[in-house]
């Protein structure tokens, strides 16, 4: 029996992609030139003129400015690892699967550090921000999980959002996480 966890706002206090962008902006001032493009993309997404994937590709286009992305990600987690929620840190994670819409290149190093069984995330080219897979969100989380583990039994699933209901429905016990409060649902 395995446990499924969404990442952002579930076990990580915040949005790791936004935090990574802001961290990168502080480290490499040239990234400021991407801010207007990112704001415009967000507006276009909210007004349904571009897809979530298109908006996120524009958002992650700043990656082209980072020379050694793996080292950059390591320094990010060295300074932001403290945002992993205490309740999550207090247990063993060898049966945990983090399944998230955040980019794999960003979340996998933290998953390794936490000792989780696996990280299933959106595949994003860490050199230019282009998507290499569908956004790992909603029904796509379930599809990606079953593509990797055709026969899997889920004991517990945790998310901060009901948009993860397809994933939550797979578990015997389903939990919604708000800040540090965990509530079992139906």
* Domain extents in the chain: 2-185
Determine the Cα–Cα distance for residues 129 and 64; give it in Å rounded to an integer: 7
Determine the Cα–Cα distance for residues 77 and 99; give it in Å rounded to an integer: 18
Looking at residue 186, its pLDDT comes to 79
Looking at residue 26, its pLDDT comes to 96
Looking at residue 47, its pLDDT comes to 96
88-146 pLDDT per residue, tens: 999 889 999 999 999 999 999 999 999 999 999 999 999 999 999 999 999 999 999 99
Give the position of tokens 């550090």. Answer: 113
Please, which pLDDT band fits residue 80 given cuts at 50, 70 and 90?
Answer: very high
User: Quick check: 38 pLDDT over 90?
Assistant: yes
Q: Give the β-pairing of 154-159 and 171-178.
A: parallel
Give the position of tokens 């000792």. Answer: 115
Say how many Å lie between the first and final Cα of the chain, rounded.
19
Determine the Cα–Cα distance for residues 100 and 149; give it in Å rounded to an integer: 16
Calculate mean pLDDT across residues 133-162.
Answer: 95
Calculate mean pLDDT across residues 152-165.
Answer: 95
Alpha helices per DSSP H over 11-68: 16-27, 35-46, 52-59
Q: What residues have CB less than 8 Å from 181, skipping those under 6 apart?
A: none
Find, among 41, 36, 167, the residue nearest to 101 by Cα.
Answer: 167
56-74 pLDDT per residue, tens: 999 999 999 999 999 999 9
Query: What DSSP line would sit under 133-159, residue for residue?
Result: S----THHHHHHHHHH-SS--EEEEEE
Residue 170 buriedness (CB in 10 A; 0-12 / 13-18 / 19+): middle
Find, among 89, 112, 106, 95, the residue nearest to 16 by Cα.
Answer: 106
- 152, 163 in Cβ contact below 8 A? no
User: Quick check: 36 pLDDT over 90?
Assistant: yes
Topology (CATH level 3) of domain 2-185: Rossmann fold (3.40.50)
């Amino acid at each position: 029996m395995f446990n499924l966890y969404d990442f952002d706002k579930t076990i990580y206090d915040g949005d790791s992609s936004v935090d990574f962008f802001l961290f990168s902006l502080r480290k490499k001032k040239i990234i400021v030139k991407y801010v207007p493009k990112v704001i415009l993309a967000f507006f276009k997404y909210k007004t349904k003129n571009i897809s979530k994937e298109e908006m996120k590709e524009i958002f992650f286009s700043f990656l082209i400015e980072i020379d050694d992305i793996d080292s950059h990600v390591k320094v990010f987690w060295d300074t932001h690892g403290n945002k992993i929620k205490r309740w999550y840190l207090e247990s063993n994670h060898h049966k945990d699967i983090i399944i998230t819409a955040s980019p794999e290149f960003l979340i996998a190093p933290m998953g390794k550090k936490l000792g989780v069984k696996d990280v299933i995330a959106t595949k994003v080219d860490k050199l230019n921000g282009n998507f290499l897979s569908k956004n790992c969100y909603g029904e796509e989380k379930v599809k990606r999980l079953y593509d990797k583990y055709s026969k899997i039994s889920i004991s517990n699933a945790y998310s901060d959002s009901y948009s993860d209901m397809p994933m939550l429905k797979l578990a015997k016990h389903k939990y919604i996480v708000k800040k540090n409060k965990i509530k079992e649902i139906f």
